[in-house]
Structure 1
Amino acid sequence: MTELVLVGCYTAETGGNGDGISAFRRGIGGALTLETTLPMVSPSWLVKHPTVPMVYAANETGSGEVTSVSLAGGELEALDVVGTGGADPCHLAVTPGGRFLVCANYTGGSLAVFALSPDGRIDERTDLVRHQGHGPDAERQAAAHVHMAVPSPDGSVVSAVDLGTDEIRSYALSTEGRLTPLAVTALPPGTGPRQLVRRPGTTTAYVVGELAGTLLTLRETAPGAFEVTDSVRSSWAEPEVKNLAAHLEIVEDALYLSNRGPDCVTAFTGTTPSAVADQACGAGPRHFALVDGRCYVAAQDEDAIIAFPLSELGEAEPERYPSGSPSFVLAATV
């Protein structure tokens, strides 16, 4: 078995410096060695199928596409390329049973659903819903911008996080892949919600407020319906620059959140989060992966993956692995 770290990126077609999906081999001590790169236009978000060796890439372009990539035998092979029905797809998720792929189209302001075959191939688009509305930020919230699509643990509900309208719009997902409106949760104006992450086994969830630089704690009062119970800054220290919060991960009792502007990963403790440390992690940190006690950060503006041990967070001397305009880090064993 080989431990790989797959890196998504932005390519020249969308103003980036990357070349496609890069596969790094993870060696002793967590060091990365570049193995190969699969050329592809701006694969900005990656997600792995839960049971078969297949990865899906959101091609974040004006035309909007998603590509299925086989990992069989440790080789990366692009298979299906299908339109997402909206511009700039920025997030993908596979429902727990592996039956459907859901896609958030950022500029398109829409949510798409695709049926998946038993072998993980993309079958057909089963639904597409478009959001309407705006928020108080005239530059970033002039229209709907769906930034994340989150299936519930049983796959029966999909919650769409809309940065443009300051809402979480939840839908019931039928066995045929159709969406029916279920609940709408309004968030504080100007939050600019980017991500929704549930704490497993509880009714607690968290929202990353990109525009406000906040981390919100929510309670799920009914399937897909939430209420805000707490809000804190998304970094430990008061930032001297605009803070565009990005990616959140939960590991047991700890939360980790990347912040662009302060350019750090912040650690939080507690179910109601309290920040305890910031770790410098390169310019423009977006997505990151936590693997065996190490953090691998896609530092987009640094053109590098920045790695450090979580045990030294706040004081670590990071390692740097060159990678053009990285946006996503995915650990996979093949």
Structure 2
Amino acid sequence: MENLSKKYIAYVGTYTSNGSQGIYSYNLDIKSGRLEQIGVSSKVDNPSYLNISHDNKFLYAVLENEVFNGEAGGAVAAFRIDQKTGEIKLLNIKGTKGKAPCNVCIARDNKYVFVANYNEGTVSVFQVNEDGSLGSISTIVEHEGSGPNKIRQTKPHVHYVTLTPEEKYLCVVDLGIDSIKFYEVDRKHGSLIINDKLSLIIKPGSGPRHMEFDPSGKTAYIITELSCEVLVVQYCVEKQTFDIIQHISTLPKGYVGENICGAIHISPDGNYLYASNRGDDSLAIFKIEKTSGILELVGHSATYGECPRDFGIDPTGKFMYVLNQDSDTIVTFKIVSESGKLEVLAGDIKILSPVCIKFISL
């Protein structure tokens, strides 16, 4: 049950080439689901994907560019979150030494930030200072190889980074070489050590994009951008296994148009999984069988906009916010807890090129 005494804030990352000003912040009314804009960050270029430290004190955003400060590569920005108002204040910006960084995650102890550099096929690891600002790069790992898709897979394309639930390993999702690589994190030096036993090669041409662990930490779900599937994978840190147990399509039966997948998220109670289709412009809704992690398709919901690049579920699990990048809207849905289905609410939010949404409670 939601805590009505808490203050809920949403942060939205955007592409700024069409006139957006940066990262937008909103008050979230947890009774109605309404978002009310309260601010925008100092101007930074293309703060597309965001992540928030586990203590809710800092926000990190990749600046998805090809050049930063006259050198090849994008950047990552660190912000401090005001614990009373939710306002974010820029601390510093550091180059990632990799082009088009597209995802970022933070260790639970706030000591390291990990960045996926899409065009370079690399991961940059940053040390974090005590005040939350970014320190120096401790290591960069580079992937090699290619995939069968002659347009999208001519080289590695690291698309997502996330830590395993116990944070022993960094999972690196590479769309270009159809792999999820596991790296042990050296906490003393900030280096990454490959674990070939856990690392997974999937069906050629699938193009894995994002992944998420369920609340139990025993099952991971990987969405493939090119083959439009969700892979269900059982994870066991003790046995060092990461095994696929299911492939399931994100598309409606009989769909024949062009489509690429976007995001994947699990409801806070672990009962439902959602995946976005860009082309069909829909969300696939799956029920999660808690014991096995197997998915059962519940149905699809229209996103009422074009190119649902990402979406987010508020911390209470009551509302979903779909970011339609090409139609410049955020569409709000109420989640029906008994079925996982979505009911669209009135009043789209107009925002230029929205990409990613994250929430905190204060």
TM-score range, shorter-chain basis?
Answer: over 0.9
CA distance in 1 between counterparts of 2:215 and 2:35 reads: 30
Q: CA deviation at 1:94?
A: 0.7
Aligned length: 331
Aligned position for 1:326: 354
CA distance in 2 between counterparts of 1:125 and 1:69 reads: 18
Task: Indicate which of 7, 12, 28 corresponds to 1:7.
Answer: 12
CA distance in 2 between counterparts of 1:164 and 1:93 reads: 20
Q: CA deviation at 1:215?
A: 0.6
- Could you list the runs of 5+ residues in structure 1 that have no partner in the other structure? none
* 2:234 maps to 1:229: no
Q: Deviations over 1:150-184 (max 9, x none)?
A: 11122221111000000111111101211111123
Amino acid at match of 2:145: G
CA distance 1:49–1:229, change in 2 (3 Å): same
* 2:93 maps to 1:89: no
Aligned position for 1:304: 329
Q: CA deviation at 1:235?
A: 3.1
Deviates more, 1:93-102 or 1:293-302: 93-102
Task: Indicate which of 224, 238, 250 corresponds to 2:266.
Answer: 250
Amino acid at match of 1:227: D
* 2:181 maps to 1:178: no
Task: Indicate which of 269, 294, 316 corresponds to 1:272.
Answer: 294
Aligned position for 2:279: 261
Aligned position for 1:54: 58
Asked if 1 retains the 8 angstrom alpha-carbon contact of 2:334 and 2:342, the reply is no
CA distance in 1 between counterparts of 2:152 and 2:308 reads: 19
CA distance 1:299–1:171, change in 2 (3 Å): same
CA distance in 1 between counterparts of 2:148 and 2:19 reads: 33
Q: Deviations over 1:20-78 (max 9, x none)?
A: 00112223511112222122211100111112521001000012100001112432211
Q: CA deviation at 1:227?
A: 2.4
Aligned position for 1:41: 45
Deviates more, 1:258-267 or 1:24-33: 24-33
CA distance in 2 between counterparts of 1:32 and 1:98 reads: 29
Asked if 1 retains the 8 angstrom alpha-carbon contact of 2:66 and 2:99, the reply is yes
CA distance 1:52–1:32, change in 2 (3 Å): closer
Aligned position for 1:137: 149
Task: Indicate which of 62, 65, 68 corresponds to 2:75.
Answer: 65
Local SS of the residue matching 2:32? helix
Task: Indicate which of 203, 209, 224 corresponds to 2:218.
Answer: 203
CA distance 1:19–1:237, change in 2 (3 Å): farther
Q: CA deviation at 1:117?
A: 2.3
Amino acid at match of 1:88: A
Aligned alpha-carbon RMSD (Å): 1.8
Local SS of the residue matching 1:77? strand
Q: Deviations over 1:95-135 (max 9, x none)?
A: 12222111100001101111112332212211101111110
CA distance in 2 between counterparts of 1:162 and 1:131 reads: 8
CA distance in 2 between counterparts of 1:33 and 1:52 reads: 20
Asked if 1 retains the 8 angstrom alpha-carbon contact of 2:329 and 2:348, the reply is yes
Aligned position for 1:288: 311
CA distance 1:209–1:162, change in 2 (3 Å): same
Deviates more, 1:178-187 or 1:305-314: 305-314
CA distance in 1 between counterparts of 2:23 and 2:182 reads: 31
Local SS of the residue matching 1:301? helix
CA distance 1:62–1:309, change in 2 (3 Å): same
Query: Percent identity, aligned pairs only?
Result: 27
CA distance 1:242–1:17, change in 2 (3 Å): farther
Deviates more, 1:233-242 or 1:92-101: 233-242
Q: CA deviation at 1:272?
A: 1.0
Q: CA deviation at 1:222?
A: 5.0
CA distance in 1 between counterparts of 2:344 and 2:329 reads: 17
Asked if 1 retains the 8 angstrom alpha-carbon contact of 2:165 and 2:217, the reply is no
Q: CA deviation at 1:266?
A: 1.6
Asked if 2 retains the 8 angstrom alpha-carbon contact of 1:279 and 1:316, the reply is no
